[in-house]
Amino acid sequence: MDDTPLKMTFDPATIEHLGVRMYSTLSPVLAELVANSYDADASNVTVLLNDTDDRREIIVEDDGSGMSLEEINSKFLRIGRNRRDDERSEDTIGGRKVIGKKGIGKLSFFGIAEEIEVVTKKDLKENAFVLKWQDIKDSKTPEYKPTPLKIEEPCGAECGTKITLRGLRRKTEFDPESIAVALSKIFIVDDSFVVSIQHNEKESFLVENKKKYDDLKKQIEWDVPKDIGLEAEYERKNQITGHFISTETPISSKTNMRGITLFSRKKLVNLPEYFSESISSHFFSYLTGHLEVDFIDELDEDVIATDRQSLNWGHPEMAELRDFLGKLMSWLEHDWRIKRDALKKKKISEQTGINTAEWLKTIPEELRGSVESVIKAIVQDSEIPEEASVRAVRDFHALVPDYPKYHWRQLHAEVQDASRAYYQGGDYYHAFIEASKRYVNAVRAKAVRTTRDERALMQEVFPEASPVLSVTETYFKRDGTAFTADTLKNIRVAQQMFSEGVICGGRHPISHEEIEDLRQSKLFTEEDCLDVLSLLSHLFWRLEHSTKVR
């Protein structure tokens, strides 16, 4: 009824709350301007940042469809107009899905500027006008009339819109590259929509998807849904696309890149987050990426916050989405750990020459579990820098080297050299045979003897009464006095007996019997071979320090 005493009035303070106070930084304001250009089917958008002494302004110019006088009044100057309710199709004439929805984005301009000039061309007509923040505040009525500059003036065939912001509150110098990076975090762009940033008519910087990831050391990447193996019941999961990246080192919290950003219709709708409180924050410090969830713009209820930094997670559909995203993050963490561990093992192997899997196979069973736990802690703990991990594995390998049974590293160099191939292959019988041959030949060479019978050789070279090679000649007590005759005699007797024992108790049985019979019967086992290899090391050491006395 026309004579109703009720009416709604428009207070300029509304603009202040929705514009000046909500948008006080440059990037979100530019994002609104760029979004307008996108919805106008522009192919190219140029953002000119001027801050010379005589010119402080921001110009955003596009080659979109422009606006007629009627459209300026019914669309651009109408606060709170819901474009999607007013128009039958949510697609632009060029086939794009419309980004703008609430009709209050243009209020953001006053968050950084006192004056806005709009020049727009369409259908061979040009219109231009100026909006001034002070005039709006001083307005006594709910209506505000911008200052017209051109009304329906004839122009060429070109179309598009140019918006200039003046009276800038910002006093610091513009950084065009940083602004390009900031916009790349708000938009997903492609070849059909090119946005460039220029400062004082100098070098231009393109807004590119890759810019937001330029400073990251990428390690693993996933395309969604192609690389995702999550099996979850969610009816819209096939409508979600995107890309995840994990990094080699933690992502700085200052970048605001930790977590997954949500986009709808190419524009940010939810700041980076993790969608789960039960998953390790350690993992999330290495994760970034985005998902496109365009279907949220098709819901009957608007679930996107006014500042487009979060969704209404209390909405039933959004609660289902969040539940699915939480499961997706759990799957991703598991897959990340598997892939990252494999990469780290590969790098450690390349840089140290140590194959941890093969190394573990050589560890005695009773020690293998403990050693594996230490290696796992080194490899899987991402907080340990790569260089430190490599150093830790190398140092630990020095403590627990390959083939450690009975301390391979402590065997005499001659024993190692003679037995290495068989020892490393796990054939300790032949390892012992080769080492014993080396010992016999070494005794024969140092004693200058040609005796072929090996036991007789040891009896000839190491008799207690008159040895050819004495193993006790150069040893004295701490005070310089001699050891007792019995002590020296016992050492010499032991050298002969041990040397004969190696031949009679080891070399001969292995040479005359089938090794498998010795192994299965346990008459002479692999452990016996290892024991005698240690004994051979002792004998070699004595031989090395012996003196030829006759």
pLDDT in tens, 284-343: 899 999 999 999 998 989 899 877 889 999 999 999 999 999 999 999 999 998 998 888
Is the model's pLDDT at 85 over the cut of 70? no
Is the model's pLDDT at 102 over the cut of 90? no
Rounded average pLDDT over 242-261 = 92
First to last CA, the chain: 135
Which two tokens mark 516? 């498998």
CB 531 within 8 A of CB 509: no
Is the model's pLDDT at 382 over the cut of 90? no
Q: At what angle do helices 485-501 and 454-461 cross, to 10 degrees?
A: 170
**What is the per-residue pLDDT for 76?**
87
**What is the per-residue pLDDT for 164?**
97
- 181-205: per-residue pLDDT in tens? 999 999 998 889 999 999 998 889 9
The larger pLDDT score, comparing residue 494 to residue 364, is at 494
Coil, strand or helix at 48 = strand
- 117-143: per-residue pLDDT in tens? 999 999 999 999 999 988 888 877 777
Task: Give residue 92's region: left, alpha or beta (phi > 0; psi -120 to 50).
Answer: beta
Count of alpha carbons within 13 Å of 62, Cβ hemisphere only?
25
Is the model's pLDDT at 247 over the cut of 50? yes
Is the model's pLDDT at 87 over the cut of 90? no
The larger pLDDT score, comparing residue 243 to residue 170, is at 243
What pTM does this model have?
0.69
Nearest to 486 by CA among 497, 498, 499, 472: 472
Is the model's pLDDT at 7 over the cut of 50? no
Is the model's pLDDT at 249 over the cut of 60? yes
Torsion angle defined by CA atoms of residues 184, 188, 191 and 197, in that order, rounded to the nearest 10 degrees = -20
**What is the per-residue pLDDT for 8?**
41
Cα angle for residues 434, 439, 443 (degrees, 5° grid) = 150
Rounded average pLDDT over 230-259 = 92
Torsion angle defined by CA atoms of residues 477, 481, 487 and 493, in that order, rounded to the nearest 10 degrees = 100
Q: How far apart are CA 335 and CA 348, in angstroms?
A: 20
**What is the per-residue pLDDT for 6?**
40
Nearest to 432 by CA among 416, 448, 446, 445: 416
Work out the number of other CB atoms within 10 angstroms of the CB of residue 262: 24
**What is the per-residue pLDDT for 348?**
81
Q: What b/e readout covers 31-65, taking b as 16+ CB neighbours within 10 angstroms?
A: bbbbbbbbbbbbeebbbbbbbeeeebbbbbbbbbb
**What is the per-residue pLDDT for 367?**
76
From 10-14, 216-220, 228-232, the region with the lowest mean pLDDT: 10-14
* Residue tagged 């514009």 (tokens): 19
Nearest to 118 by CA among 13, 238, 37: 37
Coil, strand or helix at 50 = strand
How many residues comprise the chain? 550
Q: What b/e readout covers 409-444, taking b as 16+ CB neighbours within 10 angstroms?
A: eebbebbbebbbebbeeebbbbbbbbbbebbbebbb
Q: How far apart are CA 395 and CA 28, in angstroms?
A: 52
**What is the per-residue pLDDT for 5?**
46
User: What secondary structure, in 3-state letters, does 261-291 show?
Assistant: EEEECCEEEEEEECCCCCCCHHHHCCEEEEE
DSSP-derived letter for residue 315 is S
Percent with pLDDT over 70 in the chain: 91
Considering the chain, what is the average pLDDT of its residues? 87
